[in-house]
Amino acid sequence: MHPDTLPLPGDPASTVMRVGQIGFDAPAALLDRFGLQLQRVAPGEPIPGSFWGDEEAGIIGSTVYARDDTPVHSLLHEAGHLIVLPPERRPDVHTDATDSIEEEDATCYLQIVLADELPGVGRERLMTDMDAWGYTFRLGSTRAWFEQDADNARAFLEARGLPS
């Protein structure tokens, strides 16, 4: 979500799960499995490498940056961008990981799969949060895309030995 359109109280996007609700330990352990680091940013401090700014996660090299108020879906999305990249490309990443539709689709799919690895999150909650935040898919919802229209993303991940 763009910072100019941040959710207002009562907006469905205001109910998305935040990293502070689940803590940093489980996400850090998950990212470590892929050779990534999670860096906690102090409350109110700008998040380094954040494409959208405000509370959205950021990426620089092999590090994902997040605050307590960062949405879990944002942390997983940015981590997913780094995971789908070959490790030799990661050092060049700063803020914007790709302009490839294929990698973007794979990242969206992967963030949903990885949500199952975080206690208290899971794919059902993550897909609901993605819809509330404003992710858009041509079939109208994250779930419809994931279940009916993401064969290319799944194939991309499988070809690289990534969770799918």
pLDDT tens per residue, range 90-133:
999 999 888 799 999 999 999 999 999 999 999 999 999 999 99
> Does 164 reside within a domain?
no
Domain count, the chain: 1
> Does 123 reside within a domain?
yes
Of residues 150 and 11, the one with the higher pLDDT is 150
> Does 141 reside within a domain?
yes
72 band by pLDDT with thresholds 50, 70 and 90 = very high
> Does 4 reside within a domain?
no
pLDDT tens per residue, range 31-41:
999 999 999 99
The residues, ordered by sequence, that sit 6+ positions from 98 with a Cβ below 8 Å of its Cβ are 81, 85, 104, 107
Residue 2 is predicted with a pLDDT of 37
> Does 34 reside within a domain?
yes
- The strand pairing partners of 58, in sequence order, are 50, 65
> Does 3 reside within a domain?
no
Host domain of residue 124: 9-159
Taking residue 124's Cβ as centre, other Cβ atoms within 10 Å add up to 12
